[in-house]
Each structure stands twice: as C-alpha cells, then as structure tokens.
Amino acid sequence: MSAKEHKRELKFKVCGMCDEQNIARLVELEPDFIGFIFHELSPRFCLRLPEVVIPEKITKVGVFVNKSIDYILLRSDEFELNMVQLHGQESPEFCSKIEGNGLPVIKAFNITPDFDFGKLKDYESSCTLFLFDAAGKNAGGNGTVFNWDLLQNYHGEKPFLLSGGITPALAKEIKNFSHPLLYGIDINSGFEIKPGIKNIAKIKAFKNELSA
C-alpha cells in the first residue's frame, strides 16, 4: 500500500464541540469522531446535551481529565457517549475499569523530547487507541505542534491519533508524515472561529485536501 493510499484511510476526529448549530453543520461532513470536553477549565467545556441528531456511524467521544469513574460513567450515559478520551494522569488500571464498563478508551499523552514511550506498554491492554498531543500549560488544546519525528521512537502495537496544533496549513506535512500505526488525526483550536465554534468551511477544505 502506498503512502498516498494510506493517508486516504486516515480517521478524522473533531474535538471541542458544544454549539448545537455548529455540530449540526459538522455532522454533514461525516467526521469519524466528534469530541465533547468535560473539563471545567476548558473554554470548550460542554455544559448541556446538544439537541442534535448525530448518526450512529459517528463516534461520540467524551474527553475527561482526572475525573472519577462515577463521573465519567454518569456523563457517558447522559450524553450517550460511545468512547472516552482520558487526558490526565489516569493509570492503566483506571483505563481498564472504564473499558470494563463497555466504553473504549483513547488515552492521550503529551509528547516531549524526553518522553518515555516504553511506559505505553502498560496501557496497551487497557486502551483502544492512543492520542499523541503537544505538551503545554493545559491538559490539551494548547494550539501548539510537537516534533512529529519523536514518534519514530514509538514501536508499540496500539494505533494512535495525531493531535496538537493542527491547522489547515499542515495538510501537506500530514500527507507526508508516515508511521505504520497512524490511525487518524484530531483537530480542534486550529479550525476555530472562537473557542467551541469551528469554521466548517475550513474543516471541509482540509478534509478534502487530506483525501486528495
């Protein structure tokens, strides 16, 4: 399979959605995942259930940072989430308990030059996907790009989503980036009009460019 063919199969996740009309327009683009953030310190914190019909083929992901299992399960039930993204210091055992409740887990890691990829081995049996993000003052959504070359040090078995400061200008770099376990990309602040409101036209153009 050529690199170009591989890029056409990349999954597409749009995170930080909370506005009903904005979500309805995004749904028309048929992303693979839509992320809802349940972290009070985020300007994209999802306060209430959007009254939007989201097709079953779109996976609804709840993003949590160091929350209790009870809180995660409550929000997952309330928002009818299909998947959970853990963006804090959650242990492999914690991830396993979430998956044991029928919720696949995306475990996020902030990548730095000295990041120890060896520690991910303990998470492989308790997570469905990894997400590699840039490090910053916030748990996520820092709007910065990390050095993707660092991912050549990742030799695990779990597929991952690429995240961290992705903007429309990075389409070419993403198409040229190669890793056997790259599963998809995660976009957020780089496509926003303001926190929580995405520029749907930019997302559409970016999605089309990646698949071209």
**Residue 4 above 70 pLDDT?**
no
Domain ranges of the chain: 3-211
Query: What confidence tens digit (pLDDT) does each residue in 44-61 have?
Result: 999 888 899 999 999 999
pLDDT for res 139? 53
In terms of C-beta density within 10 A (0-12 exposed, 13-18 middle, 19 or more buried), how is residue 169 classed?
A: exposed
Work out the mean pLDDT of the chain and round it to a whole number: 92
Q: Which of 87, 89, 86 is nearest to 119 (CA)?
A: 89
User: Across residues 75-88, what is the average pLDDT?
Assistant: 97
Q: Is the predicted pLDDT of residue 13 greater than 70, yes or no?
A: yes
Give the separation between CA 35 and CA 37, rounded to whole angstroms. 6
CA distance linking residue 173 with residue 33, whole number of Å? 22
Q: Is it the case that residue 2 has pLDDT exceeding 50? A: no
Report the pLDDT value the prediction gives residue 18, as an integer from 0 to 100: 93
Dist CA 85 CA 206 (whole Å): 24
pLDDT, position 1: 31
The single-letter code of the amino acid at 165 is G
Taking residues 3-32, what's their average pLDDT?
Answer: 85
Reported as a single tens digit per residue, the pLDDT across 97-147 is: 999 999 999 999 999 999 999 999 999 999 999 999 998 665 555 568 999
Amino acid at the residue 94: F
**pLDDT tens digits for range 138-195:** 555 556 899 999 999 999 999 999 999 999 999 999 999 999 999 999 999 999 999 9
Position 82 pLDDT exceeds 50: yes
Per-residue pLDDT at 3:
41
Between 3.20.20.70, 3.40.630.150, 3.40.462.40, 3.30.70.260, what CATH number should domain 3-211 receive? 3.20.20.70
**pLDDT score, position 7:** 42
Specify the pLDDT at position 138: 58
Q: Decide: 88 and 69 in contact? Cβ < 8 Å.
A: no
SS3 state at 73:
helix
DSSP state at residue 124: T
| Residues paired with residue 116 on neighbouring β-strands, in sequence order | none
Cite the DSSP H helix spans in 89-179.
92-100, 171-176
Q: How far apart are CA 13 and CA 196, in angstroms?
A: 14
Closest Cα to residue 85, out of 54, 102, 60? 60
